[in-house]
Structure 1
Amino acid sequence: MKLGVFAVLFAQKSLEDALDYIASKGLDAVEIGTGGYPGDAHCKPEELLADAGKLKAFKKAFESRGLTISALSCHGNPLHPQAQLAKPYHESFLRTIELAERLEVPVVNGFSGCPGDHEGAKYPNWPVAPWPNDFQEILDWQWTNKVIPYWKETGKFASDHNVKIALELHGGFSVHTPATLLRLREAVGEVIGANLDPSHMWWQGIDPVQAVQILGRAKAIHHFHAKDTSIDPINVNKHGVTDMQSYTLMLDRAWQFRTVGYGHDMKVWADIMSALRLVGYDYVVSIEHEDGLMSVEEGFTKAVQNLQQVMIQEPLGEMWWV
């Protein structure tokens, strides 16, 4: 496994300065935002696709520093019921796939999206309860009419361009658990996999080690994010895990994102790394920083230091004792 970082946290730096800083920390890989929610501060797909010289210089910026690009990330809601919102997300995702092929990057990360509850809807509807039965009817309509058809078409486009799609399991979107990811993968094919982020498992009450096992046995982990979550034992009993308060209200929230090691200890993270090795995941662990209690530099640095203690990086040798 290689250690990397989702470079959108350095959006205020130029690409070259960001890569210099990342390389100075001893990392191996970089995940780059190409549009949607993460923005495109370091990568303008349209410009690179239109100019071979710019594309070559972009690749050299990484190669010259001994870095690889683990994934291009274009998170949005291409299933948004308002076409004027969905279309830019969709088009940006397709451009990202085309760019990934040109850069020989094997994975594009994103969200599954979440549709509305009928053709005339204006806003997404995320059903999370089986009763009253209206919610089941909405869920069936969404998957049959929107989720599966969209990703079948987009999945074929990605396959035709030799790129895998890694969907982040994230609350508020149709694919948010191992089961929903596997449901979509079964309908669309192996081009669909997970960009597995433990932080979103913890707040949903899912053990990330077991999520790794479930998805890993199906060879359905295409990329991995390293981010932590802390659960407030008092506030969670007040607000529940679907706490709708702003992330800025950290003192009152039921849970909040933390840098690696500040929600769960190193034994837990060592178990996650071991589970990844056990199921055969041998790609990048990409740090994502969204810790409201730490600066970008401190949160990133502590995540690097903590993960370097538990990463399993050398090739697996023979069991000499067997």
Structure 2
Amino acid sequence: MKLGVFSVLFAQKSLEEALDYIAASGLGAVEIGTGGYPGKAHADPDVLLADEGKLKAFKQAVESRGLIISALSVHGNPLHPQKAIAKEFHDDLIKTIELAQRLEVPVVNTFSGCPGDHEDAKYPNWPVAPWPNDYQEILKWQWEEKLIPYWKETGDFAAARNVKIGLELHGGFSVHTPATMLRLREATSEAIGANLDPSHLWWQGIDPVAAIRYLGQAGAIHHFHAKDTSLEQSNVNKYGVTDMQSYTQMFDRAWQFRTVGFGHSMKEWADIISALRLVGYDYVVSIEHEDGLMSVEEGFTKAVGNLQSILIREPLGEMWWV
């Protein structure tokens, strides 16, 4: 395995400054935003696809520092019911897949998206209860009319370019659990898999180790994000896990994102890394920082230190004791 980072943390730095900082921190990989919510601070597909010289210089900037690009990330909602919004996210995704092909980057990360509740809806509708039965009807329409057709076509587009799609299991989007991930994969393409981030599982009550086993046995883990979550039970008792308070309301929120090791113990993180090895994942563990109690630099540095101590780097050798 290699340790990497999602470079959107360092969007205020130039590409070269960010890569220097990442390499100096002892990392071996970088995940780069190419549109959607992460933005294009370090890689604009329109620019790189139009100019072979700039494309080669971009690739050289990464490789000359001993780094690989683990994924291009273009998180968005290409199924947004407002067609202009959906088109912008979709166009960014398609161009990112094309850029990944040109750069020989194997994974593009994004969200599954979430449609509305009918063709002329204005906002996404995320059903989370089976009754009243209206929600079941909405869910059926979303999957059959929007989610499966879109990702069947997009998955085939990516597969034809030797690119895999890593969907982040994130609340508010149609794919947010191992079951919804596997349902979409089975209905569309093996190019569709997970960008697994434990932070989004913990607040839903999902054990990340169990999720890794479910998804890993199906070959459905394409990328991994390292981010933690802490839950405050007294606030969970008051607001529930679907707490709608702003992330800035850290004292009152039921849960909040933390840097690795500040929400769950390093034993739990070691179990996660071991589970990844157990199911054959031997790719990048990419740090993502969204900790409201730490600066980017401190949160990143602490995550690096904690993960360096538990990452399994070497190939599995022969069991000499068997």
Report the TM-score, using the length of structure 2 for normalisation. Answer: 1.00
Equivalent AA in structure 2 for residue 238 of structure 1: K
Name the residue aligned to 1:166.
166
- Does 2:39 correspond to 1:39? yes
Q: Residues of 1 paired with 2:283 and 2:23: CA distance?
A: 18
RMSD between aligned residues:
0.4
Name the residue aligned to 1:293.
293
The ranges of structure 1 where at least 4 consecutive aligned residues each deviate by more than 6 angstroms after the TM superposition are: none
Q: Residues of 2 paired with 1:104 and 1:189: CA distance?
A: 20
Kindly provide the CA deviation profile for residues 31-53 of structure 1, in whole angstroms up to 9, marking residues without a partner as x.
00000000010001010000000
Name the residue aligned to 1:128.
128
Equivalent AA in structure 1 for residue 191 of structure 2: V
Kindly provide the CA deviation profile for residues 241-261 of structure 1, in whole angstroms up to 9, marking residues without a partner as x.
000000000000000000000
Equivalent AA in structure 2 for residue 122 of structure 1: K
* Secondary structure of the corresponding residue to residue 109 of structure 2: strand
Equivalent AA in structure 1 for residue 213 of structure 2: Q
Name the residue aligned to 1:255.
255
Determine if contact 2:164/2:192 at 8 Å carries over to the other structure.
yes
Equivalent AA in structure 1 for residue 136 of structure 2: Q
Name the residue aligned to 2:82.
82
Q: Residues of 2 paired with 1:287 and 1:187: CA distance?
A: 30
Determine if contact 2:155/2:192 at 8 Å carries over to the other structure.
yes
Determine if contact 2:156/2:189 at 8 Å carries over to the other structure.
no
TM-aligned CA deviation for residue 304 of structure 1: 0.2
Q: Residues of 2 paired with 1:225 and 1:112: CA distance?
A: 16
- Does 2:183 correspond to 1:178? no
Name the residue aligned to 1:314.
314
Q: Percent of aligned positions with the same letter in both sequences?
A: 80
Name the residue aligned to 1:218.
218
- Does 2:206 correspond to 1:206? yes
Name the residue aligned to 1:103.
103
Equivalent AA in structure 2 for residue 167 of structure 1: L
Name the residue aligned to 1:14.
14
TM-aligned CA deviation for residue 189 of structure 1: 1.7
Equivalent AA in structure 1 for residue 80 of structure 2: H
Structure 2 unaligned segments of length 5 or more: list them. Answer: none
Aligned residues: 322
Equivalent AA in structure 1 for residue 174 of structure 2: S
Equivalent AA in structure 2 for residue 313 of structure 1: R
TM-aligned CA deviation for residue 233 of structure 1: 1.1
Q: Residues of 2 paired with 1:15 and 1:136: CA distance?
A: 46
Q: Residues of 2 paired with 1:187 and 1:211: CA distance?
A: 19
Q: Residues of 1 paired with 2:232 and 2:293: CA distance?
A: 15
TM-aligned CA deviation for residue 160 of structure 1: 1.2
- Does 2:27 correspond to 1:23? no
Name the residue aligned to 2:66.
66
Q: Residues of 2 paired with 1:311 and 1:56: CA distance?
A: 31
Kindly provide the CA deviation profile for residues 160-208 of structure 1, in whole angstroms up to 9, marking residues without a partner as x.
1110000000000000000000000000121000000000000010000
Q: Residues of 2 paired with 1:146 and 1:233: CA distance?
A: 37
* Secondary structure of the corresponding residue to residue 74 of structure 2: strand
Q: Residues of 1 paired with 2:191 and 2:236: CA distance?
A: 37
Structure 1 unaligned segments of length 5 or more: list them. Answer: none
Equivalent AA in structure 1 for residue 140 of structure 2: D
Equivalent AA in structure 1 for residue 259 of structure 2: T
Q: Residues of 2 paired with 1:279 and 1:162: CA distance?
A: 22
Q: Residues of 1 paired with 2:276 and 2:270: CA distance?
A: 10
Determine if contact 2:226/2:287 at 8 Å carries over to the other structure.
yes
Q: Residues of 2 paired with 1:119 and 1:44: CA distance?
A: 32
